[in-house]
Amino acid sequence: MNNRKRREKLYSAMPVILLAIVFFSVLRSAFPVDDTEYLSLDYALKIQVDSLAAHVEVLASDSLEGRETGTEGELKAAYYLARKMLEGNLESPYDAFMQTFDIVLPDKPDVTISTDFETYSLGHDFFSFFPHDSIAFHADEIIYVGYGIDDPKWNDYFYRDVRGKVVLVKAGEPRDHFGNSILTGLLYKSEWAADPVHAYILKRNAALKYGAKAMLYYDPDNFLLFKEIFDKIYKSKKQVRNIQVDSLYDFIIGTKMMQDISGYEKLDSVYYENRRDRHWKVPLDIRYNTHDEILSSQNIVAYIEGSENPTQYVLVCANFDHLGKAGEKIFHGANNNATGASAVVEMARVFQEAADDGYPPKNSLLFVLFSGREKNHIGAKYFLKHPPYPLTKMLGVVDVGMIGYVDTLTRNPNDIYVAFDERFKDLIKDLNPVNKSHKGPNLTVKINGIEKKFSNPGKATDGVVFYKKKFPVMSFSNWLYPFNRKPEDTPDKITWDIYTARTRYVFLATWSLANQ
């Protein structure tokens, strides 16, 4: 073929070539490389089984003795996880990646309250739930503040100076002549009276706000309920809680003490008209000697800043603590929840690698490994009260539970169980093509109802803490685990290839959420 014919053929094909160039240019602009599912999958495949296995083996080792919150083994686990975050080139809002907090192992304190007639004892005549420093103080009077409500429609502290004083507060709320609540305007109770425990906390907070030194709370209808709560708290030192750092000493008193202080059989008979003050000139001595053991613990927190919305963030979390030891038996907690914690560490490393390569997430990512899951979610609850960034900027929670076990007898071995807020329905649906691709995790996704998933907080992952506060949550897990919370929960129970595939799937879901 001569040159002239070649040129004629080339010119005749030019429209098709130009059309193809235009088509692929438009396609490329519509799907930039950093937004494609293929990019997320490329990085998901960087999560390797060897790295996951290495983390699990360390966390579930005998030397960490079950990682019980507040123990040396748990602290070793925290140092290990923080070091891995540092090695992954991540940053943190906290020194050494650790959000530290104190907890108390409550041992029943020695507390007495004495008037000029009698001395009353803790656990019989009155109850106290919050831990306090040891103290002895004297008061010459008690100020009766009625219902102890602090509300725009009714304020029992209005024009009252109770700073440094002892206040007496009664349960309930004011009602009009028709029996309607002054606060709701209807027959139904307000939050200051509906739930006895919640009402007590609200009134405690009000007394604290106005500077009272101590609060005596009288609720005869629920005195036995408070006794049950008190007995449960001090039944075992294994029940831990956050230290109460405020200065208010509060006590739920019985009828005998109320009558001693007031001189009346019922507080209703002495409720003041026109909301005037009532002072009882009764000498009162309070002696509080604590025996609580104070321990320290920590959450591990790492951060990747978003490229477009740095103030908005996705929380990716798992707990890393477990049950510790019972005698010589170690509860290793390999699947529960070394697998979840290790998955979060590896995901954080790979997300940071993507950011270093020039593909940061659009929204920021906050990776948190909680301690205290086995102590009534104390680490997650502390984080919720003391977040490093505003909770209003949190787009959602990716909650990683135990994901390493495969039930080969009753389930598809490729299952991954997902419980999610309705707002994530489309996100999970859109993951299917990537999951089923020839390179993807290729898992069978099973949907759990999120209400059922978090119906029992004692058995739930830390995601329940955020779910209860109405934050959108995605929670990942395997099916029922026969070795859960047993010494036999060891690394040999994990199916490593499926565990790796599940971790990659969680990574893809997180990528999608972080880039919305």
Which pLDDT does position 244 carry in this prediction? Answer: 56
**272 or 178: whose pLDDT is higher?**
178
Compute the average pLDDT of residues 279-286. Answer: 90
Instruction: Kindly indicate the confidence band of residue 265, based on its pLDDT and cuts at 50, 70 and 90.
Output: confident
**Taking Cα atoms as reference points, which of 7, 50, 113, 99 lies closest to residue 388?**
99
Considering the domain architecture, whether residues 227 and 366 belong to the same structural domain is answered as no
Which pLDDT does position 245 carry in this prediction? Answer: 58
Which pLDDT does position 16 carry in this prediction? Answer: 40
Residue 26 forms part of a structural domain: no
What is the number of structural domains in the chain?
2
Considering the domain architecture, whether residues 276 and 346 belong to the same structural domain is answered as no
Out of 291, 307, 334, pick the residue that ends a domain: 291
Compute the average pLDDT of residues 396-410. Answer: 90
Considering the domain architecture, whether residues 93 and 234 belong to the same structural domain is answered as no
Q: Are strands 154-155 and 150-151 parallel, antiparallel or unpaired?
A: antiparallel
Considering the domain architecture, whether residues 137 and 55 belong to the same structural domain is answered as no
Considering the domain architecture, whether residues 185 and 332 belong to the same structural domain is answered as no
| Helix residue spans in 388-469 (DSSP H) | 425-435, 450-453, 463-467
Residue 5 forms part of a structural domain: no
Which pLDDT does position 26 carry in this prediction? Answer: 35
Backbone φ and ψ of 86, nearest 5°: -65, -45
Compute the average pLDDT of residues 400-404. Answer: 96
Residue 59 forms part of a structural domain: yes
pLDDT score of 434 more than 50: yes
Residue 400 belongs to what domain range? 34-105+295-514
Q: What pLDDT, in 10s, does the model give residues 455-492?
A: 988 889 999 999 999 999 999 999 889 999 999 999 99
Please state, rounded to an integer, the average pLDDT across all residues of the chain. 88
Chain centroid, CA 71 distance in Å:
20
Residue 21 forms part of a structural domain: no
Considering the domain architecture, whether residues 274 and 224 belong to the same structural domain is answered as yes
Considering the domain architecture, whether residues 353 and 485 belong to the same structural domain is answered as yes
Q: What pLDDT, in 10s, does the model give residues 223-236?
A: 999 999 888 877 75
Q: Confirm if 514 and 361 have CB atoms less than 8 A apart.
A: yes
Q: In which region does residue 351 sit, left (phi positive, over 0), alpha (psi from -120 to 50) or beta (all else)?
A: alpha
Considering the domain architecture, whether residues 131 and 76 belong to the same structural domain is answered as no
Which pLDDT does position 32 carry in this prediction? Answer: 38
Backbone φ and ψ of 382, nearest 5°: -65, -45
Considering the domain architecture, whether residues 268 and 301 belong to the same structural domain is answered as no
Considering the domain architecture, whether residues 287 and 299 belong to the same structural domain is answered as no
Between the alpha carbon of residue 258 and those of residues 125, 126, 263, 280, 392, the distances in Å are: 10, 10, 8, 11, 44
Concatenated DSSP letters of 155-198: ETTTT---TT-EEEEESS--B-TTS-BTTTSSSS--TTTSSHHH
CATH number assigned to the domain comprising residue 393:
3.40.630.10
Considering the domain architecture, whether residues 81 and 230 belong to the same structural domain is answered as no
| % of the chain beyond a pLDDT of 70 | 88
Out of 258, 291, 324, pick the residue that ends a domain: 291
Which pLDDT does position 35 carry in this prediction? Answer: 43
Q: What pLDDT, in 10s, does the model give residues 27-64?
A: 333 333 334 457 999 999 999 999 999 999 999 999 99
Which pLDDT does position 274 carry in this prediction? Answer: 46
Residue 332 forms part of a structural domain: yes
Q: What pLDDT, in 10s, does the model give residues 366-376?
A: 999 999 999 88
Strands, sheet with 293-304, edge to edge from the N-terminal-most edge strand: 241-242, 98-105, 293-304, 363-370, 309-319, 394-400, 473-477, 415-420, 444-448
Which residue reads 């963030």 in tokens?
Answer: 313
Strands, sheet with 284-289, edge to edge from the N-terminal-most edge strand: 119-121, 110-114, 284-289, 135-139
Residue 1 forms part of a structural domain: no
CATH number assigned to the domain comprising residue 129:
3.50.30.30
Compute the average pLDDT of residues 121-127. Answer: 93
Considering the domain architecture, whether residues 332 and 436 belong to the same structural domain is answered as yes
* Whole-angstrom distance, CA of residue 514 vs CA of residue 510: 6
Whether the ω angle into residue 435 lies within 30 degrees of 0, i.e. cis, is no
Which pLDDT does position 28 carry in this prediction? Answer: 36
Residue 18 forms part of a structural domain: no
Which pLDDT does position 21 carry in this prediction? Answer: 36
Residue 19 forms part of a structural domain: no
Which pLDDT does position 330 carry in this prediction? Answer: 96
Out of 275, 291, 307, pick the residue that ends a domain: 291
Instruction: Kindly indicate the confidence band of residue 276, based on its pLDDT and cuts at 50, 70 and 90.
Output: low
Q: What pLDDT, in 10s, does the model give residues 341-350?
A: 999 999 999 9
Backbone φ and ψ of 18, nearest 5°: -65, -40
**Taking Cα atoms as reference points, which of 479, 473, 461 lies closest to residue 415?**
479
